[in-house]
Structure 1
Amino acid sequence: MSLWVAITIFAALVQTLRFMLQKQLKGVGLSTGGATFSRFLFGAPLAAMAAAATLLATGTGLPMPGTRFWAFALAGGAAQVAATFLTVALFSLRNFAVGVAFTKTETLQVAVFSLIVLGEPVSGLGWLAIGVGFLGVLVLSHRPGGGGIVSRAAVYGVLAGGLFGISAIGYRGATQELLPLGFFSRAIVTLAVVTFAQSLGMALFLRLREPGELGRVGRAWRRTLWVGVTGVVGSAGWFTAFALQNAAYVRALGQVEIVFTLAVSALVFHEKLRLREAVGIGLVVFSLVGIVLGAAP
Structure 2
Amino acid sequence: MWVLFTLMAAFMQAWRNAFQSELSREVSVAGVTLARFLYAAPLAGLYLWLLYQWQPVEPLELNPRFTGFVVGAALMQILATGLMVKLFQMKNFAVGAGLAKSEALVAAVLGMLFFGTHLSLLGWLGIALGAVAVFLLSSPGSWRQLAPATVLLGLACGTAFALTSLWVREASLSIDLPFPHRAAWVLLLVLSLQTLLLLSYLSWRDSATLVALWQRPRLTGLTSLSSCLGSIGWFSAMSLQAVPYVKTLGQVEVFFTLLIANLWLKQKVRVKDMLGLVLIALAAIIVMWF
Using the size of structure 2 for normalisation, the TM-score is: 0.90
Counterpart in the other structure of 2:206: 210
Tell me the equivalent position of 1:271: 267
Does residue 200 of structure 2 align to residue 171 of structure 1?
no
Specify every segment of 5 or more residues in structure 1 that has no aligned partner in the other structure, as ranges.
none
> Which stretches in structure 2 are left out of the alignment for 5+ residues?
none
Aligned residue in 2 for 1:24:
22
Q: Deviations over 1:62-117 (max 9, x none)?
A: 11121111111110111111111111122121111111111122222212322444
Residue in 2 that maps onto 1:252:
248
Deviation at 1:122, TM superposition (A): 4.8
Tell me the distance in 2 between the aligned counterparts of 1:126 and 1:120: 15
- Aligned partners of 1:215 and 1:272: how far apart in 2? 32
Decide whether the 8 Å contact of 2:202 with 2:209 is kept in 1.
Answer: yes
Which residue, out of 72, 91, 95, partners 1:94? 91
Partner of 1:61: 58
- Residue of structure 1 in register with 2:5 after alignment: 7
Residue 193, structure 1, aligned to residue 173, structure 2: no
Aligned residue pairs total: 289
- Name the SS of the counterpart of 1:91 in structure 2: helix
> 2:112, 2:119 within 8 Å by CA — same for their partners in 1?
no
Tell me the distance in 2 between the aligned counterparts of 1:100 and 1:199.
Answer: 23
CA distance in 1, matches of 2:47, 2:281: 33
Whether the 8 Å contact between 1:253 and 1:288 is mirrored in structure 2 is no
> Hey, what's the Cα distance between the residues in 1 that align with 2:47 and 2:128?
37
SS in 2 for 1:61: coil
For 1:113 and 1:228, locate their aligned partners in 2 and report how far apart those are by CA, in whole Å: 29
Q: Does structure 1 residue 182 correspond to structure 2 residue 178? A: yes
1:160 pairs with 2:157? yes
* 1:59 Cα offset (Å): 1.2
| 3-state DSSP of counterpart to 2:46 | helix
CA distance in 1, matches of 2:149, 2:104: 20
Q: Tell me which amino acid in the other structure corresponds to 1:37.
A: L
The answer to whether the 8 Å contact 1:99/1:153 transfers is: no
Q: What's the offset of the Cα at 1:24? A: 1.6
Q: Secondary structure at the match of 2:24?
A: helix
Q: Displacement, 1:128?
A: 5.0
Q: Alpha carbons of 1:220 and 1:135: their partners in 2 closer, same or farther (altered >3 Å)? A: same
CA–CA distance in 2 between the matches of 1:251 and 1:113?
Answer: 13
Change (3 A) 1:49 1:96: same
CA-CA distance at 1:143 after TM superposition: 3.3
Identity of aligned residues (%): 31
- The offset of 1:127, in angstroms, is 5.6
Q: Partner amino acid for 2:202?
A: L
Specify whether residues 104 and 122 from structure 1 end up closer, same or farther in structure 2 by C-alpha distance, changes over 3 A only: farther
- TM-score for the superposition, normalised by structure 1: 0.88
1:172-224 deviation per Cα after TM superposition (whole angstroms, max 9, x unaligned): 11011123x22111111110010000000111121222122222222322321
Describe how 1:284-295 pairs up with structure 2 within 5 A.
Answer: 284-287=280-283, 290=286, 293-294=289-290
My pick for the range that moved more, 227-236 or 4-13, is 4-13
Residues 133 and 51 of structure 1: CA distance in aligned 2, closer, same or farther (over 3 Å):
same
| Counterpart contact for 1:23–1:88, Cα < 8 Å | yes
Distance 2:38 2:173 in 1: 26
Could you say which residue in structure 1 is the equivalent of 2:117? 121
* CA distance 1:120–1:7, change in 2 (3 Å): farther
- Distance in 2, matches of 1:172 and 1:149, equals 35
Aligned with residue 217 of structure 2, among 217, 221, 229: 221
Structure 1 vs Structure 2 CA RMSD:
2.3
Structure 1 stretch displaced more, 5-14 or 282-291: 282-291
Stretch of structure 1 that moved more, 164-173 or 247-256: 247-256
